[in-house]
Amino acid sequence: MTIAILSALPEEQGGLVKILEQREQFQYAGRTFWRGNRHGQKIILGLSGIGKVAAATTATILLERLGAQRIVFTGVAGGMGEGVQVGDIVVAQQFLQHDLDASPIFPRWEVPGYGCTQFTCDPTLTTLLFEAANAYLAQTKTNNLDLQKHDAVLMQSARVHQGLIISGDRFINTLTESITLHSILAAAGYQALAVEMEGAAVAQVCNDFAKPFAAVRIISDRADDNAHIDFPHFIQQVVRPYADHIIADFLQRQS
Ligand code: ADE
C-alpha cells in the first residue's frame, strides 16, 4: 500500500527525502517526486507548487499515475481561529474552499455537483497525525536545541488543534481580510482554524477517487498585516524540523 506525502514547497517537505531507503527522484508534469521505502512501506514524496489547481493536478498524478493509495499533506498555514498562534500545529478534520462561490445558483461555498461545502479527512490517518503532532511538541518543549532562541520561546507555548482548515487561491495578508473571512464563515457556523492554498483541492480529488486523505499544517503567520514577513521567516528558519519529526513519527505509527 503506497502512501504519498505531499507539500507545496520544498521547505515544507523538510528533510523527508533523506529518510527514504532506495530512493529515486523523478519528474512528471513539471513536478518533482521521490519514490522510496520506509519501515517496509512504499512512499512517494511530491511537491505540488502553490495553489489549488497545482495541488489538484499533483494529487491526481499521485493517485492515478503513481499508484498512491493515500495522501497526507504537510505544510504551513495562516492561523485564523482565536488562540491559533504562530508555531502551533493544526491537524485538519475538514476542508472548505473559501473562494468558491457559485451563488445564487448554489449556496456559498457549496462545491457544485457534490452537494456539500466541506470534505472530511480520513479519521484513522487524522488520529495518527494528531498523535504524532502532540508527541513532537512534547519532545520539543523539553529539547528545543535546533531552533533559534526566538522560536524556541515560541515553541514553549505551541499547541495542537484539530478542526476546519480553509483553502483558496489567495495569500491572506491583511488583518481586515482575515477577520472578514473568519467572521463570515463563523456566522454560517464554520469555525476556521487556519487558511492555506491547497488542502481543499487535494481533499476533493481524494474524495473523487475514494482515497483517504489527511493533512497537518504548521502555523507560519496569523494571516494578518505581518503575514508577508512572518511566512518567509518561518518557511526558511522554522518549519523544517516539524515535517521531519511529525511525518517520520506518523509513518512509523501507521506502518
Ligand atoms: N499559507 C501560509 N500562510 C498563509 C496565508 N496567510 N494565506 C494563505 N495561505 C497561507
Please report the atom of ligand 1 found closest to the CA of residue 76: 2
Question: Ligand 1 centre and the CA of 27: distance in Å?
Answer: 26
CB burial class (10 A; 0-12, 13-18, 19+) of residue 147?
middle
Expressed in angstroms and rounded, the spacing between residue 248 Cα and the centre of ligand 1 is 24
> What is the chain's pLDDT, residue by residue, as a tens digit (255 residues)?
999 999 999 999 999 999 999 999 999 999 999 999 998 999 999 999 999 999 999 999 999 999 999 999 999 999 998 899 999 999 999 999 999 999 999 999 999 999 999 999 999 999 999 999 999 998 887 765 555 555 666 677 899 999 999 999 999 999 999 999 999 999 999 999 999 999 999 999 999 999 999 999 999 999 999 999 999 999 988 888 888 999 999 999 988
Domains along the chain with CATH numbers: 75-253 (3.40.50.1580)
Closest ligand 1 atom to residue 221 Cα is 3
> ipTM greater than 0.90, yes or no?
yes
Q: Crossing angle, helix 123-142 and helix 149-156, to 10 degrees?
A: 120
**249: CB partners within 8 A, 6+ apart:** 132, 135, 136
* C-alpha cell of residue 231: 511566512
With CA atoms as reference, report the closest residue to 84 among 215, 178, 173: 178
Q: Is 12 annotated in the active site?
A: yes
Q: Going along 83-136, which residue ranges are E strands? A: 89-97, 118-120
Residues near 79 by Cβ (< 8 Å), separated by ≥ 6? 85, 86, 88, 90, 193, 194, 219, 221, 222, 223
CB 212 within 8 A of CB 64: no
Mutational test site, ligand 1, from 99, 195, 198, max ligand atoms within 8 Å of CB: 195
Give the number of other CB atoms < 10 A from CB of residue 94: 19
Residue closest by Cα to atom 1 of ligand 1:
77
Identity (one letter) of the amino acid at 87?
G
Q: What is the DSSP letter of 39?
A: T
Residue 50 three-state SS: coil
From 122, 196, 221, 224, the catalytic residue:
221
- pTM, two decimals, is 0.95
